[in-house]
Amino acid sequence: MRPNPITQDLVLIGGGHSHAIALRKFGMNPVPGVRLTLITDVTDTPYSGMLPGYVAGLYGFDDCHIDLRPLANFAGARLVVDQAIGLDLQNNRVICAHRPAIAFDLLSIDIGSTPTAASVPGAAEYAIPVKPISQFLSRWDALVETLTQQAGDRQNARSGRSLSLGIVGGGTGGVELALAVQSRMQQIGKQSGVFLPDPTLHLFQRGHELMPERRPWVRRKMQRILANRGVQLHLNQAVSDVGEDWVQCESGLKVACDALFWVTQAAAAPWLGKSGLATCDRGFIQVNDWLQSTSHPQVFAAGDVATMVNHPRPKAGVFAVRQGKPLYANLRRALQQQPLRPFVPQKEFLILIGLGDRTAVASRGAIGLGAAAWIWQWKDRVDRAFMDQFAQLKPMEAGMENGAIASSKKSIITSPLTMPCAGCGSKVGSSVLARSLARLRQELGGLERDDILIGLDAPDDAAVITVPAGQVMVQTVDYFRALVNDPFVFGQIAATHALGDLFAMGATPQSALAIATLPYATEAKHEELLYQLLAGAVTVLTQAGAVLIGGHTSEGSDLSFGLACNGLAEPQHLLRKSGMNPGDVLILTKPLGTGTLFAADMQLKAKGRWIEAAIQSMLTSNQTAAALLRTYRATACTDITGFGLVGHLNEMLHASQVAAAIALSALPLLDGARDTLHQGIVSSLHPQNLQAATQIQNLTSITARSVFPILCDPQTCGGLLASIPAETASECLTALRTHGYPHSQAIGRVLPRQADRLSITVVP
């Protein structure tokens, strides 16, 4: 039974609270035929309700961040890690910063807001904006680490002056942040075991009172608490200038500040107004009661980035959370061409304000309570319950990849089409291919070389290439199912992986043929998917100096892609698996762990930041590394791929008729690989690779080690393993680390063969 073909694209820009809720609901009840895509520049989205608690040191990073990668996987959504910088609403495309535009039929935007600091001289250079929150947290963590180190220096701590910090903005966010910062600074002093002068904290507010958006009881209560905590309040003080370590106000007041946080009125991303969407006077997207753009019905928006024209409300996380369910419902109804339903946000709402010391204040309307520990416990339970719904996810059922989703629930497919037979080889139509290639030429170029006599520019049945005199043709092929759901990144990964064999043999890439299997979809969806896939591959080929000269496309249940790559080399300069000499040092250029990490990713047990780091490692080309290895007289080389480290090392040992010793502790591991191995998560190919471990001489003594499976972990776009003469190994490592391979490591040595046995010894 074939899955439902892809007929519509729903694209979400931003991983805010509303979109997180919508993704979870789409995962629980998908719409057949709809391909879901999330575009976000951060994969860990902070929950604003717990941000002050994180600043105060009451929560860890994972406690207060929604990991968008497993959430997107659960929803069956493609995750595109990039920044949206514009919209082409005429052609329904999202313009991204670092990749081709992404097409949509229906679009939703939830990207939050940013503080308005640009109008104050020096603020952009010296102040720390609280939004985007992800950037603020990285700056905050760096500041805390610096202050902790300074506090740990007892001599410096005793002689140091009192730290002075400032916060600009006396709304609810600024007040809650002030209390959290003050609490964290006191913690640092206590934990150091050294008497430190209490930090001076200044809060600057343009108006005559704090929290003007709240009721009088809350304003008076919070002002008393701040005063009792020793926070210096500067009311009716508009900041006019900011320096590296000072703040100047319009009144002439000048205050020394070692660090300044900017928590003023929120502003919208400038590109929203430039896109043609109807916006309010502050630049936020105007939406109707259905959370739909008032100017473009194919666009929805929620959270801080949206302004409901009939129900204006403050920019607060509580409304973003409340908009999640109605946004999901109306997106679903719009996809199914059903009438939309209005959403009316409440006027009065409960606010729970944490005070940074495990107490909190509660307020709704004119009623207020606290400060009290039980209110903090109440707030903590509410916040953790919200976060738990994104952490307790189960893997999707089989057949739910790439948006081609089969559901037992009734739903309407708005664009039915006849499923193709296999008599044509399941080929994708020629018009789809022609349009995709034309767009590649127009937008990317890089499809021509002088030694390609017949390539994509000619309608012949095959490509024709020339081999220069004195050189040989080196060929390799790779093809596999998508391990990431972003087709552009998958194209990059597939090309990087395929080219790895050429680099391992010392060849220079020349050309490539592509083969792609696309999931069942309409012609328009096939065209867009094929373009994204080939665009990713062509960017990598172009960087390597190679061109795409042809290929083949077909349809199937899953997205798969591969390349047959051609390279040129001088025969005498080829690198082989044979040639290792006793005494050579074994050098590995990249960390291991893609097998276990992506196995964990399929089970929704890998953190998004682990996968992002793995992808960055995978996209690091081996081209420069191969050149450096040749410079330092590599005697043998291979790339670590599907057979794992031990499997590929075995091939080298047999080809060279030598043995080897490697150090388990010296092996570089990708972030998170140690954690997933500790959970017992291994790739489906691991059991086959384990057979090569029989060559390990002391196998029984090391199998109990938790990282032992890394020896048999299959790699995608793995690093190069080379044997280097001992006299050049140290310089080689330095050069590798300097030129983009920071995890390069000497992992062992080549030994003479032992009698008739070619063995591997692994030391802890």
Catalytic residue numbers read 424
Amino acid identity for residue 617 in this structure: S
Cis amide bond preceding 371, omega within 30: yes
Do 194 and 171 contact (CB within 8 A), yes or no?
no
Q: What is the DSSP letter of 596?
A: H
Helix, strand, or coil (residue 179): helix
> What's the rounded Cα separation, in Å, for the pair 38 and 15?
8
Amino acid identity for residue 582 in this structure: P
Closest of 612, 618, 604, 603 to residue 684, by C-alpha: 603
The count of residues in the chain is 764
> What's the rounded Cα separation, in Å, for the pair 540 and 115?
37
Q: Cα dihedral angle (538, 544, 545, 548), rounded to 10 degrees?
A: -30
Q: What is the DSSP letter of 49?
A: G
DSSP collapsed to 3 states, 248-283 = EECCCCEEECCEEEECCCEECCHHHHHCCCCECCCC
Beta bridge partners of residue 94, listed in sequence order: 87, 102
How far are the Cα atoms of 148, 239, 260, 550 from residue 123, in angstroms, in the given order? 26, 9, 9, 53
Residues 6+ positions from 701 with CB-CB distance below 8 Å: none
> What's the rounded Cα separation, in Å, for the pair 246 and 242?
6
> What's the rounded Cα separation, in Å, for the pair 203 and 261?
10
Run of H or E including 325: helix 317-335
608 φ/ψ angles, rounded to the nearest 5 degrees: -60, -35
> CA angle, 555 as apex, 551 and 559 as ends, to 5°?
85
